[in-house]
Amino acid sequence: MKKFKAVAVLLIAALIIGGLGYVTAFGVGENKTGSAQGIKRGLDLAGGVSITYQVVGDGKPSKEDMSDTIYKLQQRVENYSTEAQVYQEGEDRINIEIPGVSDANAILEELGNPGTLYFIAQTGADGSENYTYGVDADGNMGYVIAEGKTLDSLKADGSVVVDGTQVAGAQAVTQSSGSGVREKEFVVSLTFTSDGAKAFADATQKAYTNGQSIGIYYDGKFVSVPTVQAVITDGSAVITGMESFDAASKLASTIRIGGLNVELEELRSNVVGAQLGSTAIQTSLKAALVGFIIIAVFMIAVYWLPGFASVLALIIYVILDLLLLLGFNVTLTLPGIAGIILSVGMAVDANVIIFARIREEIAAGKTVRASIKAGYEKALSAIIDGNVTTILAAIVLLVKGSGTVKGFAQTLLIGIIVSVITALFVTRFLMDAFYELGLRSEKLYGKAKALKPIKSIENKHIFFAVSIICIVAGFVFMGMNSSKTGQPLNYSLEFMGGTSTNVTFNEDMSIEKLESDVIPHIEEITGDGNVQQSKVADSNEVIFKTRTLTVPEREAFNKMLSDQFQVSENQIQTETISSTISKEMKSDSIIAVIIAVILMLIYIRIRFTDLRFGVSSVLCLCHDVLVVLAFYAAAKISVGNTFIACMLTIVGYSINATIVVFDRIRENMRGTRGELSEIVNKSVTQTLTRSIFTSLTTFIMVAAIYVYGVTSVREFALPLMVGIICGAYSSVCVAGSLWYVFKTKIATKKRK
């Protein structure tokens, strides 16, 4: 790279940082398009729409019907946001909370009243037409129920051939138009239950014979009236005539939500404020800035010129990450911030691995130019393997997960891909540019110092004992907790449900005043920092969500409101609410994690040609998760949505740290002769700097969030810090020793 090219690279970097940085901070045009302030935020950070539905009918709905309805509604509302929440209130109400929107009426209009889907044959038992053309409520021509007919009468005379509960699934797909050219049409693919398949087969037989249609009736109107073009006996069908894929997706979603076992009607709707309040956002931004500055100073102080290049690349990374979050319309929540933190840590990690390699090459006597080239080449495999395993996990969580898990996966996946690009290319271009400008002295790049070998193999029994003690202690604490409270962990209302208290104050209290004057009193009553508050827009109403309150606690709550804020009894309404994390969502998350771990094992087996590396990696991952779980049990930290994000972050962090060590063991086994124990000790020693520095930089980011965060944010940051320390410990002290034990034990058996 010649000097003028080097200058051009630096100018381009400056323009990117300046130009994109300005757009990210302030946006462009009158509407400030492109500003990071436009990133959608979840209920915890920005609030949204809250809708309460009431079950229609006299009978009490069963627990199974309510659970099934909640799960299906969750799938529907995730079309608006992956962070939408659906939970039960009382015995026959369902609450839906959708973040990032402020028009409750628009949501209600599109969502409709779920549970009223029917397939109606065109001709009834009396031979008359069941529906005909007419003018709908909006003045548009459409199908309507024929004059003199009602939905009840159609049900009675058998014209309703299939209802929504008999539809197993509906998906928008594309298929060949059949016109002889390579054109596609958008259709809705339907599958029926066994009962539905038989009923639909009989209905289509009759309709096809008479050249009739079967109308799909939903929420008081016909949404589609497809002509029956064949007798359908295999339990599947397609609805054609969709003008776009979005229209097909909308109809498919409508059909899916119509397959509920209960019918709902709107009870109330509100626009609510952020659950964590404005302070959480401000403190998180402040913490991010402080953490970034400390990391920048650290990288420059330790790695000098390469460190400065990495800081510039990291700035570009942050800008691109924010713009992509905005471009992909990702809803950012506290768990999403965890994904960003992990990807920032991995961005720094890639640079640390590269810089350590460069210093090793310089210490070996190579020139700076040759050292830079060799450093990037030798670091590549560790960076790719560590990031690919995490990307695999993120993709599985994105596809199979739901709610918070999916939001975490989105931010993590975007962040990792961008971090790899900036570390491997942007930092490299900047370093080459500095070199071409004459900054070629070894003193600017540093030289690796010989470290005294760590005797990890010799001390493996001590390390294993410490790990076992920590894990066993966790189970002991969980047992003690179970004997006292009936639960091994301090599950929050997201897992266990709780109490929702709707309070109408005598004044319009600001979020700041609620956080400073009201929340501390509630926390004192509950003894729990997990209190969520949502302020209803344009009113004095505030909704407080806590763990399930006992009768004395409810009385104390009401007395506090009366004594401190002069709120009367009739201004307080209390309801029991279910968990926002349903049984199905829990099982989806567990299945996603299991699939992710299996894919990690397969990838590591392929890349390392030794399954023992993969097994050891997964065991280290389990070790870190169990130790952090022990901390949750011992410290009685609230286990909620942030718990899932914390554990997923530790999984990604752990697997990446372990693979770096295993990558060096693999390399040294090819190029070094000697005892296996010496190779492992040497590899652990060579990667020690990386393990410490990467853990330190990530720890700094999380510690800043802990120092500046509100109570709920601290309960997320504290166990994450424990996980980072544990991840560093397992990668240095446990991973290599564990693989060594597997390697030698299996080898011994083979020799026998």
pLDDT at 747 > cutoff 60? no
Which among 184-193, 459-468, 484-493 has the top mean pLDDT? 459-468
What's the CA gap between 428 and 441, in Å, rounded? 17
Say yes or no: 415 and 373 in one domain: yes
- Residue-wise pLDDT for 513-558, tens only, equals 888 889 899 988 988 777 878 888 778 999 888 888 888 999 999 9
- CATH number, domain with residue 158: 3.30.1360.200
Distance between CA 335 and CA 42 in Å, rounded?
10
Question: Where among 549, 577, 605 does a domain terminate?
Answer: 577
On whether the CB atoms of residues 407 and 42 are closer than 8 A, the answer is yes
Using pLDDT thresholds of 50, 70 and 90, give the confidence band for residue 751. Answer: very low
Looking at the fold, whether 652 and 700 belong to one and the same domain comes out as yes
Q: What is the total residue count of the chain?
A: 752
Q: Name every residue whose Cβ is closer than 8 Å to that of residue 483 and which is 6 or more positions away in sequence.
A: none
Q: Average pLDDT in the 137-161 region?
A: 81
Query: Domain for residue 722, yes or no?
Result: yes
Instruction: Reply yes or no on whether the pLDDT at 212 is more than 80.
Output: yes
- Give mean pLDDT, residues 392-403: 78
Most confident of 99-103, 246-250, 561-565: 561-565
Mean pLDDT of the chain: 83
121 and 171 housed in the same domain: yes
Strands ordered across the beta sheet of 85-89 = 264-272, 48-55, 93-99, 85-89, 572-577, 498-504, 541-546, 532-535
- Mean pLDDT on 191-201: 90
Per the model's pLDDT, the better-predicted residue between 511 and 356 turns out to be 356
Distance between CA atoms of residues 165 and 259, nearest Å: 4
Residue 490 lies in a domain: no
User: In the prediction, which pLDDT does 27 show?
Assistant: 66
Q: Which DSSP string corresponds to 397-441?
A: HHHH--THHHHHHHHHHHHHHHHHHIIIIIHHHHHHHHHHTT---
Please state the rounded mean pLDDT for residues 608-624: 89
How large is the average pLDDT for residues 484-511? 86
Average pLDDT over residues 183-192: 84
> What share of the chain has pLDDT > 90, as a percent?
23
For helices 334-363 and 711-729, angle between their N-to-C axes, nearest 10 degrees: 30
**pLDDT category of residue 619 using cuts at 50, 70 and 90:** very high
Q: Are residues 19 and 52 in the same domain?
A: no
Instruction: Based on the fold, state whether residues 685 and 736 are members of the same structural domain.
Output: yes
The pLDDT, as a whole number, for residue 70 is: 82
CATH number at 282 reads 1.20.1640.10
Please check the confidence at residue 359 and state whether its pLDDT lies above 90. yes
What pLDDT, on the 0 to 100 scale, is given for residue 110? 63
Q: Residue 281's pLDDT is what?
A: 65
Query: Of 40, 72, 100, which residue sits at a domain end?
Result: 100
pLDDT (tens digit, 9 = 90+) per residue, 256-291?
766 666 777 888 877 776 666 556 667 777 777 888
What is the C-alpha to C-alpha distance for residues 681 and 662, in angstroms, rounded to an integer?
12
| Residue 371 pLDDT greater than 90, yes or no | yes
Segment 27-36, tens digit of pLDDT: 665 555 566 6
Estimate to the nearest angstrom the gap between the alpha carbon of 734 and the chain centroid.
29
600 and 664 together in one domain: yes
pLDDT at 244 over 90: no
Please report the pLDDT score of residue 81 as a whole number.
Answer: 75
In terms of domains, do 570 and 591 share one? no
Is residue 364 in some structural domain?
A: yes
Does the residue 387 lie in any domain? yes
107 in any annotated domain:
no
Q: Which of 213, 211, 241 is nearest to 132 (CA)?
A: 213
| Same domain, residue pair 353 and 235 | no
pLDDT recorded at residue 725 = 93
CATH number of the domain bearing residue 548 = 3.30.70
Which of these, 235, 230, 232, 218, lies nearest to 168 by C-alpha position? 235
Is the domain of 302 the same as that of 322?
yes
Q: What is the pLDDT of residue 477?
A: 95
* Mean pLDDT across 163-190: 77
**Torsion angle (degrees, nearest 10) of CA 314, 317, 319, 321:** -140
Give the pLDDT band (50/70/90) at residue 752: very low
On whether both 54 and 93 belong to a single domain, the answer is: yes
The lowest-confidence range among 105-119, 377-391, 402-416, 632-646 is 105-119
| 51 pLDDT higher than 60 | yes
Higher pLDDT among residues 468 and 533, named by residue? 468
At residue 304, the pLDDT reads 92
Dihedral pair phi/psi, residue 544, rounded to 5°: -105, 130
Q: Is residue 302 part of a domain?
A: yes
For 450, list phi and psi in degrees, rounded to 5. Answer: -70, 125
- Residue 748, pLDDT score: 45
**Would 234 be classed as within a structural domain?**
yes
Q: Indicate the pLDDT class of residue 677, thresholds 50, 70 and 90.
A: very high
The count of structural domains within the chain is 5
Domain boundary residue among 213, 234, 259? 259
Helices 711-729 and 641-671 meet at what angle, rounded to 10?
20
**Is 43 a domain residue?**
no
pLDDT band of 672, cuts 50, 70, 90: low
Do 71 and 181 lie in a common domain? no
Residues 622 and 525 in one domain: no
> Which residues span the domain enclosing 181?
117-259
For range 195-206, the mean pLDDT:
91
Question: How many degrees, rounded to 5, is the angle at CA 89 between CA 86 and CA 93?
Answer: 85
CA dist list (Å): 718 to 112, 635, 704: 42, 10, 11
The pLDDT of residue 165 is above 70: yes
